[in-house]
Amino acid sequence: MNSSPITARAHTNIALIKYWGKKDMDLIIPQNSSLSLTLDHFYTDTTVKFDKTLPRDVFTLNGHLVENPKVNHFMDLVRKLAGIQIFAKIDSINHVPSAAGLASSASAFAALAAAASKAAGLDLSRKDLSRLARRGSGSASRSIYGGFVEWCQGTDDQTSYAVPVEEKLDWPIGMLVGIVNSGQKKISSRVGMQTVVETSPYYQGWIQSTTADLKSIKKAIQERDFQKVGEITESNALKMHALNLSAQPHFNYFEPMSLAIMQEVERIREEEHIPCYYTLDAGPNVKILCLQADASAIQQILASKFGQITFEFAKPGEGVRFIEA
Ligand code: ADP
Ligand code: DP6
Ligand code: CO
């Protein structure tokens, strides 16, 4: 079988309640449930074509041929699911910096799950797409949906998948994303979180408090309590980064500029009385949750203080879909 090329687009998502640790590393079953906002501005387009003349999978990222074991492993899972043994040409374009803590693995594996499964002749439900995307990268399970999304941790392959919390958001919020450094992180999310699970003395405390944060933020979202949503988001991110500081060997993803922006966000909130809250993932880039109406005022203040950094505004985005190549 030679399939026709299938292209899927998936957007990145930024967790307000973080996933930071696995119970099962092969199946990617997380230690806790998480909740994210899908962003329109950052996304991945991936095209897959199965071709019986290929001796192996051929993967290009942004036009360059690269060897990527995670992609090969993922394609093996798709072949198993579809009952085929043909290799594929996979071409992916990231409209997001790769491996910089801006969730490229989330948009990447959500797009690949959709494109590869369809090209392999499967017609998966969104629940099954989420389960499949999860096997590539945990955060990718959430990029199947738009808006606010919860990844319910579950206990096994069948029960660990994301569900939409509010897919078409009628709430004018978004994130200002400050690109402090778009280079590749030194410690991947996968290695970072595993080090924490194995060595942080605070890990049980994290699980307890993040479970409480998830419950509170869902209520705050329902009540449209922006201040509450922001406070929980900021505090949950700082707890995740505190785990990294408490691991052995300890590590962190901050750069001096990340800390300067975090302090400035706190100042804008306290002195300028504009509600805004930061979150950081496994990288130095700072995302600032704010109301759409305040975005340009915050952007101006930040530009005046940190001229060398670009801040891009991202609105809530949609879930994964097929597009014309
Ligand atoms: P990020 O913060 O960008 O999600 P991670 O450490 O979680 O960083 O994941 C980065 C990994 O995701 C890369 O090393 C690569 O294996 C994979 N990845 C990124 N973009 C793509 C893509 N478009 N297609 C397939 N895999 C990708
Ligand atoms: C800090 O999903 O990238 O962004 O499952 O090992 O691929 P793997 O890790 P990944 O981890 C994301 C971690 C985070 C928090 C989050 O997105 O929930
Ligand atoms: Co990632």
CATH 3.30.230.10 fits 6-168, yes or no: yes
140 SS3 class? helix
Tell which one of 177, 189, 251 to mutate to probe ligand 2, the residue whose CB is within 8 A of the most ligand atoms: 189
- Nearest CA to 102 out of 163, 177, 25 is that of 177
**Rounded CA gap, 248 and 250, in Å?**
5
Q: How far is the CA of 312 from the centre of ligand 2 (A)?
A: 21
Q: Taking a C-beta distance cutoff of 8 angstroms, is the pair 138, 28 a contact?
A: yes
Prediction pTM value? 0.98
User: How many angstroms separate the alpha carbon of residue 304 from the centre of ligand 2?
Assistant: 32
* Pairing label, strands 88-95, 58-61: parallel
Domain with CATH 3.30.230.10 in the chain: 6-168
Give me the pLDDT at residue 325, please: 81
Q: Is the CB of 246 under 6 A from ligand 1?
A: no
Return the closest-CA partner of residue 117 out of 137, 131, 138. 131
Residues of the chain with CATH 3.30.70.890: 173-314
Angstrom distance (rounded) from CA 226 to CA 280: 18
3-state SS assignment for residue 287: strand
173-314 placed in CATH 3.40.50.1100: no
Q: Ligand 2: does its nearest atom lie under 6 Å from the Cβ of 200?
A: no
Q: What is the pLDDT of residue 175?
A: 98
CA 169 / ligand 2 centre spacing (Å): 23
Minimum-distance ligand 2 atom for the alpha carbon of 70: 7
Gap from CA of 103 to ligand 1 centroid (Å):
7
Asked whether 3 lines ligand 1 (CB < 6 A), one says: no
Q: Is the CB of 18 under 6 A from ligand 2?
A: yes
| 150 touches ligand 2 (CB under 6 Å) | no
Q: Which two tokens stand for residue 184?
A: 């590749």
Per-residue pLDDT of the chain (325 residues), as tens digits, is: 677 999 999 999 999 999 999 999 999 999 999 999 999 999 999 999 999 999 999 999 999 999 999 999 999 999 999 999 999 999 999 999 999 999 999 999 999 999 999 999 999 999 999 999 999 999 999 999 999 999 999 999 999 999 999 999 999 999 999 999 999 999 999 999 999 999 999 999 999 999 999 999 999 999 999 999 999 999 999 999 999 999 999 999 999 999 999 999 999 999 999 999 999 999 999 999 999 999 999 999 999 999 999 999 999 999 999 999 8
Other residues' Cβ atoms within 10 Å of the Cβ of residue 103: 30
